[in-house]
């Protein structure tokens, strides 16, 4: 069986910790002959050593723009340097702080880390954390690998995320960059905190298809697990879709199976339910 797992809210809990039961479950799955791939909106550089040390067979990142199987890069679609420049210049023109997401690093605009901390406190509060635990939260506590004062006109970017001043910023981005993929994260509807612009015509499901074709594996031998709306395409594509109990209502409504919360051994319980560990 090939298992595709989201990271945030699925492997990591909302306090940024990995339950020991999740680590054990992933290793048991692989020891039992199953393959486990990370599938994430993150770019490769954002993942900490503690995550890689668990052991995986590969990664799909940038919401599907990059596919790697046992060290072999199967696909990598980046924004062009011109697309990057257009997005950066547009953000600057609207006074929007941003960071660029690359497998080589996360490159922040001058004021992003300072300004984003407040928005990230709101984001993490929405995940169930209290004000006391969030009072000293810094951007780096949530978004690992940030680099400041780097060259911002680049050709190695999976996507660019920007801090919204208002929902109109997202609507304008959607209009301005209609030939690219424009989305939001950090909330729902007009309460979203961030927008992002990335490569068009890719998602987690299309990336999984690339990997399965490479391995000549049938979709009936696949399971996907995640917690957020953006994970829905991969749950729909795979033969079995599992939602975390702590996930959003939309993904839980469409999943084949809803496991327990991420912090209550939900990952481990899911694969015990299906008899894989």
Q: Per-residue pLDDT tens for 40-65? A: 988 999 898 999 999 999 999 998 99
What is the reported pLDDT for 188? 65
Helix count (H) and strand count (E) of the chain? Answer: 11, 14
> What is the band of 91 on the pLDDT scale with cuts at 50, 70, 90?
very high
> What is the band of 83 on the pLDDT scale with cuts at 50, 70, 90?
very high
Q: How far apart are CA 88 and CA 21, in angstroms?
A: 41
What is the reported pLDDT for 15? 80
Q: What's the predicted TM-score (pTM) here? A: 0.89
Q: What is the mean pLDDT of residues 180-206?
A: 86
Residues carrying CATH 3.40.50.1000, the chain:
2-77+202-273
Count how many residues are written for the chain: 277
* Nearest Cα to Cα of residue 247 among 233, 258, 234, 235: 258
What is the reported pLDDT for 190? 62
Q: What is the mean pLDDT of residues 17-46?
A: 96
Q: What is the mean pLDDT of residues 10-26?
A: 93
Average pLDDT taken over every residue of the chain: 93
What is the reported pLDDT for 164? 96
> Residue 35's beta-bridge partner residues?
2
What is the reported pLDDT for 223? 98
Element (H, E) at 19: none
Q: Decide if pLDDT at 21 tops 70.
A: yes
What is the reported pLDDT for 129? 74
What is the reported pLDDT for 219? 95
Element (H, E) at 187: none
Q: Decide if pLDDT at 191 tops 80.
A: no
Q: Do the Cβ atoms of 248 and 228 come closer than 8 Å?
A: yes
Q: Who has greater pLDDT, 17 or 137?
A: 17
The percentage of the chain sitting over the pLDDT mark of 70, rounded to a whole number, equals 98
* Nearest Cα to Cα of residue 212 among 94, 87, 89, 67: 67
Selecting from 3.30.1240.10, 1.10.3860.10, 1.10.8.100, 3.40.30.10, what CATH number does the domain 81-198 have? 3.30.1240.10
CATH C-level class of 2-77+202-273: alpha beta
Residues carrying CATH 3.30.1240.10, the chain:
81-198
Query: pLDDT digits over 220-269, tens only?
Result: 999 999 998 889 999 999 999 999 999 989 999 999 999 999 999 999 99
């Amino acid at each position: 069986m090939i298992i595709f797992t989201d990271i945030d809210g699925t492997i990591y809990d909302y306090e940024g910790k990995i339950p020991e039961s999740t680590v054990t479950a992933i290793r048991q799955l692989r020891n039992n002959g199953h393959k486990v791939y990370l599938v994430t909106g993150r770019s490769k550089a954002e993942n900490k050593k503690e995550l890689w040390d668990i052991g995986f067979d590969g990664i799909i990142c940038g919401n599907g723009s990059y596919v790697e199987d046992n060290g072999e890069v199967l696909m990598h679609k980046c924004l062009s340097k011109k697309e990057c420049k257009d997005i950066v210049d547009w953000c600057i023109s609207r006074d929007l702080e941003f960071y660029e997401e690359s497998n080589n690093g996360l490159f922040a605009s001058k004021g992003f880390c300072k300004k984003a901390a407040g928005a990230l406190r709101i984001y993490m509060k929405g995940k169930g954390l209290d004000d006391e635990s969030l009072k000293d939260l810094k951007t780096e506590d949530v978004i690992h690998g940030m680099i400041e004062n780097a060259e911002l006109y680049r050709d190695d970017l999976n996507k660019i995320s920007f801090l919204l001043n208002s929902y109109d910023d997202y609507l304008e981005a959607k209009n301005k960059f209609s030939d690219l993929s424009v989305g939001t994260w950090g909330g729902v509807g007009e309460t979203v905190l961030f927008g992002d612009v990335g490569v068009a015509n890719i998602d987690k499901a299309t990336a999984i298809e690339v990997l399965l074709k490479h391995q000549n594996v049938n979709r009936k031998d696949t399971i996907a697990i995640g917690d957020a709306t953006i994970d829905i395409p991969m749950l729909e594509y795979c033969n079995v879709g599992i939602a975390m109990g702590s996930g959003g209502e939309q993904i839980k409504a469409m999943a084949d199976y809803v496991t327990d919360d991420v912090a209550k051994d939900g990952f481990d319980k899911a694969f015990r339910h299906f008899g894989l560990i």
